[in-house]
Amino acid sequence: MNPDLARLHPYPFERLRQLLAGATPPADLAPINLSIGEPRHPTPAFILEAYRRALPGISSYPQTAGQPELREAIAAWARRRYGLRQLDPGTQVLPVAGSREALFAFAQAAIDRTRTARVISPNPFYQIYEGAALLAGAQPLYLPTTAGNGFRMEFERLSPLDWAGVQLIYVCTPGNPTGRVMTLDEWGRLFELADRHGFIIASDECYSEIYFDESRPPLGALAAAAQLGRERFERVVMFSSLSKRSNVPGMRSGFVAGDAELLRRFLLYRTYHGAALSPPVQAASVAAWNDEAHVVENRRLYAAKFDQATPVIAGALPCLRPDAAFYLWARTPMADTEYARRLYAERHVTVLPGSFLSRDADGLNPGSGFVRIALVATPDEVAEAAARIASFNP
Ligand SMILES: Cc1ncc(COP(=O)(O)O)c(C=O)c1O
């Protein structure tokens, strides 16, 4: 078997299971799980209906590139959302089976194993970036995002020697777990570095539609590129998803968009990779991308939960409402693992230790001393969990 499989780290939720094993939470308190970033708002009925209507389509093989209707719906959505003058559905957009699959697969297509290969990842981070790098034969390099640097990736910390061999950088904006959104200035600097050192930017934007101010949607890679005069999106691909936007995490539907030359090669890879979207998924995705009303309502539900829970939780665990996404990234009064274990054992609330989302780098684990709290449960459960956290004084 591929020896690189042995380089993969256990997934955070496996470590969480081990951490909580043997604890006996109070039986009179119902369990509330805020550890997993899985949306739990109901799927809109019109999406289910579009899926149902398209079921007979499973009698044929779908194309890897997706149906033209889906590519057009995605391109039109992205043009509206990011104020783009043009985004060609034929060459600059590719449907994928959720952003996770595509974030992983992209590295396999992008990395040149005949040269030194390094892949930069934020730290803490979504673990798929690291696994993708390792299985592509590359070396991950972690850039810490900490309270001290405002949770941003400090590209300027890397020397020309560090950049040598970097072929790919993952950025996550809005970030998981911090919710931070990259600014236009940061994008400008990153584009310059990509041009200078010849690497590709993979921008994970799966939380882009969960934000709090309707007049200020998060900036994305394509919007930043267009605003900075890179209308062909050179060296950039962004990854988007319906999972969180439209509450369909089980449907597995997202897209990749950006540099046409990179997508042409990625499509070639994907014809072998074989993750074409089934016809009902494509039809339901067209319906979802074409509608915004359900997304506005989805945001309203999250905003109400953040309004209610943030001040309550912040009384016990310092945290701020994020720029976007559905996590609170909260400081713990003791080791994050110890806090998470005791909160579960004594209050029956599950949160994710930040150190499980991070790697030690330069003697520092930038996730330690934090927990990630996903406000995905019902408003009542989130309010109850917030009250339990507030009354927990370990
Ligand atoms: C940062 C980040 N990227 C990507 C994904 C994958 O989402 P999906 O594959 O459902 O699009 C997740 C899922 O939780 C995530 O947190």
CB 242 within 8 A of CB 209: no
Backbone φ, ψ for residue 262 (5° rounding): -65, -40
Ligand 1, residue 243: give the atom nearest the CA.
Answer: 10
Ligand 1 centroid from CA 99, angstroms: 6
Judged against a pLDDT cut of 90, whether residue 394 lies above it is answered with no
Answer whether 138's CB lies under 8 Å from 118's CB. Answer: yes
* pLDDT classification of 364: cutoffs 50, 70, 90: confident
- Is 230 a residue whose pLDDT tops 90? yes
Ramachandran assignment for 198, one of left (phi > 0), alpha (psi -120 to 50 degrees), beta (any other): left
206 C-alpha to ligand 1 centroid (Å): 6
Nearest one of 312, 250, 277 to 60, comparing CA atoms: 277
**Residue 100: its pLDDT value, please?**
97
Q: Rounded CA gap, 384 and 28, in Å?
A: 14
Mutate to test the pocket of ligand 1, among 126, 127, 238 (most ligand atoms within 8 A of CB): 126
The C-alpha atoms of residue 306 and residue 321 are separated, in whole angstroms, by: 7
pLDDT tens for residues 49-81? 999 999 999 999 999 999 999 999 999 999 999
Would the pLDDT of 225 be above 90?
A: yes
Q: Which of 178-187, 344-353, 358-367 has the lowest mean pLDDT?
A: 358-367
Instruction: Count CB atoms within 10 A of the CB of residue 265.
Output: 12
pLDDT at 361: 83
Beta bridge partners of 341: none
**281: confidence class by pLDDT, cuts 50, 70, 90:** very high
Report the alpha-carbon distance of residue 13 to residue 140 in Å, rounded.
Answer: 21
Q: How far apart are CA 128 and CA 335, in angstroms?
A: 25
Say whether 165 sits in a helix, a strand or coil. Answer: coil
* Mean pLDDT, residues 224-249: 97
Cβ neighbours of residue 80 under 8 Å, at least 6 residues apart? none
Using CA atoms, how far residue 196 sits from 114, 160, 192, 193, 240, in Å, is: 20, 10, 6, 5, 27
Q: How confident is the model at residue 362 (pLDDT cuts 50, 70, 90)?
A: confident
In the reported structure, the alpha carbon of residue 103 is separated from the centroid of ligand 1 by a whole-number distance in angstroms of 9
What is the three-class DSSP state of 236?
Answer: strand
Ligand 1 pocket at CB < 6 A = 37, 98-100, 126, 172, 176, 204, 206, 241, 243, 249, 254
- How many CB atoms sit inside 10 A of residue 31's CB? 10
User: How many angstroms separate the alpha carbon of residue 254 from the centre of ligand 1?
Assistant: 10
Percent of the chain's residues with pLDDT above 70? 100
Q: What is the pLDDT of residue 60?
A: 95
pLDDT tens digit string along 197-214? 999 999 999 999 999 999
Angle between helices 128-135 and 99-110 (to 10 degrees): 30
Residue 148: its pLDDT value, please?
92
Q: Do strands 32-33 and 349-350 pair parallel, antiparallel, or not at all (unpaired)?
A: parallel
Tens of pLDDT along 142-190? Answer: 999 999 999 999 999 999 999 999 999 999 999 999 999 999 999 999 9
pTM: 0.97
Helices 336-347, 379-390: inter-axial angle, 10-degree rounding: 110
Two structure tokens written together for 222: 């394509």
Mean pLDDT along residues 312-325: 96
| pLDDT confidence of residue 166 | 98
Atom of ligand 1 nearest to the CA of 37: 14
- For the segment 349-360, the average pLDDT, to the nearest whole number, is 97
How far does residue 96's CA lie from ligand 1's centre (Å)? 12
Q: How many CB atoms lie within 10 A of CB 225?
A: 26
Q: What average pLDDT does range 191-201 have in this prediction?
A: 97
Atom of ligand 1 at shortest range from CA of 172:
1
Give strand ranges (E) for the chain: 32-33, 93-96, 118-123, 139-144, 166-172, 200-204, 236-241, 254-258, 327-331, 349-350, 352-353, 370-374
**Ligand 1 pocket test target in 13, 100, 145, 256 with most atoms within 8 Å of CB:** 100
pLDDT at 279 over 90: yes
Q: Grade residue 393 by pLDDT with cuts at 50, 70 and 90.
A: confident
28 C-alpha to center of ligand 1: Å? Answer: 34
Average pLDDT over the chain, rounded to whole? Answer: 97
Does 280 have pLDDT greater than 90? yes
For residue 229, count CB atoms less than 10 angstroms from its CB and return exposed for 0-12, middle for 13-18, buried for 19 or more. Answer: exposed
| Residue 136, CB-side half-sphere exposure with 13 Å CA sphere | 27
